[in-house]
Amino acid sequence: EFRRVLFRSLLAYIMATPEISRLGLYTRIARKRQLSVDLLKLGLPSAVSQGLESSAFGAMAVFAGWLGAQALASYQISLNLVAMAFMMAMGLSTATSVHVGMAYGARLRAAAESAGWLGTWMVVVYTVAMGIGFVLFDREIAGLYANDPALVSAAAVAIVVAAFILLPDGIQGVLMGALRGFGDVNWPSAMHLVSFWVVTVPLAHHLAFGRHWGTDGLLWGLVAGLSCASLLLGARFFLVSR
């Protein structure tokens, strides 16, 4: 409470100080108002898109919890590996966004298009290599997380399925960055809504509980939704870059 009073007192003192207007503080704020609006137009849809993706993954974790302790553990092991692998894809996404944005700002549309597809091909090579590692060393990787034989076996199967998540997850991540470099954020957010909440969540629930695939059903639902996102974003980038 004391800190709030102190903050309000300092703010009131600053606002009432005559030198503030002489220094042009209010004028500078007014000049940057349009910039703030532009940044919000770019940032809010991106935040919504991130929220749609994160909430869909959160729903998968809830579904896994309904399946039982072992299913939840194997799901969390596989998704932890996917998340770690995605860190490199996230870096490529950021780098692609910067290069596309720089080329587009310089009105070099062909260079912007090339930067976007280059980042996409780089993430393809990386995720395929990681996926092969997941498949070849599934039990060894699972053994790093648990020593219970039943859990290791269940997690090993989940890791193999998770290997198929890496490619579409990486592609859609990089393409989102590439489109952001063009300043195109509204349509990609709508595509994420369709991919995650029209495809991923209902399909994963159906496969896990309706078809009784368990954890594997949740993961295959993610594969389908992320593949949908990759295709939609790829088509969008093709149109925008042309």
Give exposure, 179-213, as e/b (b: 16+ Cβ within 10 Å).
bbbbebbbebbbbbeebbbebbbebbbebbeeeeb
Question: Which long-range CB contacts under 8 A does 126-130 form with residues at least 24 apart?
Answer: 126/88, 126/89, 126/92, 126/170, 127/85, 127/89, 127/166, 127/167, 127/169, 127/170, 127/171, 128/166, 128/167, 130/85, 130/163, 130/166
| Contact assessment for residue 110 and residue 72, using Cβ atoms and an 8 Å cutoff | no
Give residue 16's pLDDT band: very low, low, confident or very high (50, 70, 90): confident
pLDDT in tens, 145-173: 999 999 999 999 999 999 999 999 999 99
Does position 236 have pLDDT exceeding 70, yes or no?
yes
Q: What is the mean pLDDT of the chain?
A: 92
The pLDDT > 90 percentage for the chain reads 79
Reported pTM: 0.84
C-alpha distances out from residue 73 to 63, 65, 140, 144, 148, Å: 12, 9, 16, 13, 11
What is the structure's pLDDT at 90? 94
pLDDT in tens, 33-59: 777 777 788 888 888 998 999 999 999
Structure tokens at 49: 């898109």
